[in-house]
Structure 1
Amino acid sequence: MLELPSDIPSTIPANAKIYKDDCMYSFDTPENNEFGLDIDLKSYFAYSRNATHNYTRDNYEKTGNYLYLNINKVLKPESERKKIYDENGEKSTKLQKLEIKDIDENELYNVEYTVYDIKQDKSYRLDELSDPFRKLIDQILTSNSSHQQDEIKQWELEIIPCHHSIDIQQETSSKEIDLTKCSVCELKENLWICLHCGALGCGRQQFGSNLKGNGHALNHYEITGHPVAVKLGSLSSDNEDSCDVYCYACNDEVKVPKLSEKLFKFGIDLKSQVKTEKSLIELNIYQNLNWDFKLEGANGEKLKPVYGKGYTGFQNLGNSCYLNSVLQSLFSLDNYQQFFSNLSSELNTSSIKNPSEDLSNQLIKIYDGLWSGRYSKPSLISANKGDDYQLGLKPVSFKTLIGENHAEFKTQRQQDAFEFLLYLLDKLDQEFGLTLNQSLKFLFANKTICANCQHGSIQSELIDNLSIPIKHEVIGKDEDGKKLYEQVNLIESIRDYCDTEGIEGYKCDHCKVPSGLAIKSGGFKTYPDVLVVSVQRIILENWVPIKIDVPIEIPYEIDLGEFKEPIFEGDEVEVEQKDEEEEVSGSSSDNKFKPNEEALSTLLSMGFPEPRCLKGLYHGNNNAEDAMNWIFAHMDDIDIDEPFNPDVQTSSAATTTDSGPSQDSIDNLVGMGFSTQLAKKALILNNNDINLAVEWLFSNPDDDGVIEISTETTTSKAVVNLAAEHKALKQKLLQSTATTSQTKYKLKSVICHKGTSPHTGHYVVFIRKHIEGKDKWILYNDEKVVICEDENLQDIKSNGYVYIFEKI
Structure 2
Amino acid sequence: MGLELPQNIPPHVPAGAKIYKDDCMYTFDTAENNDLGLDIDLKTYRAYSRNNEYNYTKQNYEATGNYLYLNVKKTLKPKEEIDKLLYDDDGEKSPKIRKLEIKNVSEEDYYNTEISLYDVKQDKLYPRSELSAAFNNLFEEILSANSSNDDEEIKQWEQEIAPCPHSVNVEQFDFDGTLDLTKCSQCDLKENLWICLHCGALGCGRQQYASTMKGNGHALAHYETSQHPVALKLGSLSGDSESYDAYCYQCNDEVKVPNLAAILKKYGIDLEKTKKTEKSLVELNIDQNLNWDFKLDGAGGDKLPPVYGKGLTGLKNLGNSCYMNSVLQALFDLSSYKEFFKGLNPKLDINPAEDLSSQLLKIYDGLYSGRYSVPSPLKGEDYQLGIKPFVFKNLIGQNHPEFKTQRQQDAYEFLLYLLDKLDNEFGLKLNEDLKFVYTEKVVCDNCKHGSLKNELVDNISVPLEETVLATEGDEKVYKEVDLRDSFQKVAGPELIPGYQCDNCNSKPGAALKSGGFTSFPKYLIVSAQRIKLENWAPAKVDVPVKVPFTLDLSEFKAPFFKEGEIEVTPSRSNDDTQTFTANAEQLNTLLGMGFPEPRSIKALYSTGNNDAEAAMNWLFEHMEDPDIDEPLDLTGEGLKAPSTPSDEAVSNLVGMGFSHQLSKKALYLNNDDPSAAVEWLFSNPDDDGVIEVNDKVPVNAGKEKRDLLAKLSNESKSSGQYQLKSVICHKGASSHTGHYVVFVKKFVDGAWKWVLFNDEKVVLCQEENLKEVEKNAYIYIFEQV
| TM-score class normalised by the smaller sequence | 0.7 to 0.9
Range with bigger deviation, 528-537 or 127-136: 127-136
**Residue 60 of structure 1, CA deviation:** 0.8
Amino acid of the structure 1 residue aligned with 2:781: I
Are 2:232 and 1:230 equivalent residues in the alignment? yes
CA distance in 1, matches of 2:241, 2:406: 20
Are 2:728 and 1:751 equivalent residues in the alignment? yes
- Write the deviation string for residues 207-242 of structure 1: whole angstroms up to 9, x where unpaired: 1111111111111111111101111111110123x1
SS of aligned partner of 1:389: strand
Contact 2:88 2:95 in 1 (8 A): no
Equivalent position of 1:6 in the other structure:
7
2:419 to 400, 419, 425: 425
Contact 2:313 2:760 in 1 (8 A): yes
Equivalent position of 1:382 in the other structure:
379
Equivalent position of 1:311 in the other structure:
312
CA distance in 1, matches of 2:276, 2:557: 62
CA distance in 1, matches of 2:471, 2:27: 49
Summarize the Cα distance change of 1:88–1:307 in structure 2 as closer, same or farther, 3 Å threshold: farther
Equivalent position of 1:493 in the other structure:
486
Summarize the Cα distance change of 1:100–1:441 in structure 2 as closer, same or farther, 3 Å threshold: same
Equivalent position of 2:359 in the other structure:
362
CA distance in 1, matches of 2:779, 2:341: 23
Equivalent position of 2:546 in the other structure:
553
Equivalent position of 1:507 in the other structure:
500
**Residue 455 of structure 1, CA deviation:** 1.3
Equivalent position of 2:776 in the other structure:
799
Matches within 5 A, 1:575-586: 575-578=568-571, 582-583=572-573, 585=575
CA distance in 2, matches of 1:88, 1:361: 48
Are 2:763 and 1:786 equivalent residues in the alignment? yes
Equivalent position of 1:23 in the other structure:
24
- Write the deviation string for residues 43-70 of structure 1: whole angstroms up to 9, x where unpaired: 0000001221000000111111111110
Are 2:530 and 1:533 equivalent residues in the alignment? no
Amino acid of the structure 1 residue aligned with 2:452: I
Amino acid of the structure 2 residue aligned with 1:799: N
Amino acid of the structure 2 residue aligned with 1:529: K
Equivalent position of 1:80 in the other structure:
81
Equivalent position of 2:699 in the other structure:
720
Equivalent position of 1:733 in the other structure:
712
Query: Considering only aligned residues, what root-mean-square deviation do their CA atoms show, in Å?
Result: 2.8
TM-score of the pair, normalised by structure 1: 0.84
CA distance in 2, matches of 1:533, 1:401: 26
**Residue 411 of structure 1, CA deviation:** 0.6
Range with bigger deviation, 397-406 or 202-211: 202-211
Summarize the Cα distance change of 1:640–1:116 in structure 2 as closer, same or farther, 3 Å threshold: closer
1:632 to 589, 592, 599: 599
1:775 to 752, 761, 764: 752
CA distance in 2, matches of 1:714, 1:794: 53
Amino acid of the structure 2 residue aligned with 1:557: T
Equivalent position of 1:710 in the other structure:
671
Contact 2:603 2:615 in 1 (8 A): no
1:160 to 156, 159, 162: 162
CA distance in 2, matches of 1:200, 1:680: 45
**Which structure 1 segments of 5+ residues have no match?**
587-593, 595-609, 621-627, 643-650, 654-660, 667-678, 688-707
CA distance in 2, matches of 1:557, 1:296: 24
Contact 1:291 1:754 in 2 (8 A): no
Amino acid of the structure 2 residue aligned with 1:558: L
**Residue 720 of structure 1, CA deviation:** 2.1
CA distance in 2, matches of 1:67, 1:686: 44
SS of aligned partner of 1:343: coil
Equivalent position of 1:648 in the other structure:
none
SS of aligned partner of 1:33: coil
SS of aligned partner of 2:344: helix
Contact 1:380 1:388 in 2 (8 A): no
Equivalent position of 1:205 in the other structure:
207
CA distance in 2, matches of 1:223, 1:97: 36
Range with bigger deviation, 294-303 or 517-526: 294-303
Contact 1:97 1:277 in 2 (8 A): no
CA distance in 2, matches of 1:439, 1:315: 28
**Residue 121 of structure 1, CA deviation:** 1.7
Summarize the Cα distance change of 1:5–1:731 in structure 2 as closer, same or farther, 3 Å threshold: same
**Residue 452 of structure 1, CA deviation:** 1.6
TM-score of the pair, normalised by structure 2: 0.86
**Residue 762 of structure 1, CA deviation:** 0.8
CA distance in 1, matches of 2:670, 2:574: 24
- Write the deviation string for residues 574-595 of structure 1: whole angstroms up to 9, x where unpaired: 12334xxx53615xxxxxxx7x
Contact 2:97 2:103 in 1 (8 A): no
Equivalent position of 2:445 in the other structure:
451
Equivalent position of 2:286 in the other structure:
285
SS of aligned partner of 2:277: coil
Contact 2:723 2:782 in 1 (8 A): yes
Contact 1:325 1:763 in 2 (8 A): yes
CA distance in 2, matches of 1:14, 1:197: 45
CA distance in 1, matches of 2:17, 2:534: 49
Equivalent position of 1:342 in the other structure:
343
Range with bigger deviation, 555-564 or 394-403: 555-564
Amino acid of the structure 2 residue aligned with 1:152: I
**Residue 745 of structure 1, CA deviation:** 1.2
Are 2:467 and 1:473 equivalent residues in the alignment? yes
- Write the deviation string for residues 159-179 of structure 1: whole angstroms up to 9, x where unpaired: 111111112211132342221
CA distance in 1, matches of 2:512, 2:436: 23
Summarize the Cα distance change of 1:753–1:399 in structure 2 as closer, same or farther, 3 Å threshold: same
Range with bigger deviation, 714-723 or 405-414: 714-723
SS of aligned partner of 1:508: coil
**Residue 300 of structure 1, CA deviation:** 2.4
CA distance in 1, matches of 2:610, 2:280: 53
Are 2:62 and 1:61 equivalent residues in the alignment? yes
Summarize the Cα distance change of 1:681–1:269 in structure 2 as closer, same or farther, 3 Å threshold: farther
SS of aligned partner of 2:391: helix
1:110 to 96, 109, 112: 112
CA distance in 2, matches of 1:481, 1:641: 35
**Residue 544 of structure 1, CA deviation:** 5.1
Equivalent position of 1:399 in the other structure:
393
Amino acid of the structure 2 residue aligned with 1:634: I
SS of aligned partner of 1:196: coil
**Which structure 2 segments of 5+ residues have no match?**
588-594, 626-668, 678-690
SS of aligned partner of 1:229: strand
- Write the deviation string for residues 590-616 of structure 1: whole angstroms up to 9, x where unpaired: xxxx7xxxxxxxxxxxxxxx866x989
Summarize the Cα distance change of 1:377–1:429 in structure 2 as closer, same or farther, 3 Å threshold: same
Summarize the Cα distance change of 1:255–1:501 in structure 2 as closer, same or farther, 3 Å threshold: same
**Residue 777 of structure 1, CA deviation:** 0.2
SS of aligned partner of 1:726: helix
Equivalent position of 1:607 in the other structure:
none
2:218 to 208, 216, 219: 216
SS of aligned partner of 1:778: strand
Amino acid of the structure 2 residue aligned with 1:16: A
CA distance in 1, matches of 2:606, 2:76: 63
CA distance in 1, matches of 2:536, 2:39: 55
CA distance in 1, matches of 2:347, 2:379: 37
CA distance in 2, matches of 1:245, 1:640: 43
Are 2:194 and 1:192 equivalent residues in the alignment? yes
**Residue 483 of structure 1, CA deviation:** 2.5
- Write the deviation string for residues 24-48 of structure 1: whole angstroms up to 9, x where unpaired: 0111111111100000011000000
- Write the deviation string for residues 242-267 of structure 1: whole angstroms up to 9, x where unpaired: 11110001111011111111111222
Amino acid of the structure 1 residue aligned with 2:770: L
Range with bigger deviation, 220-229 or 791-800: 791-800
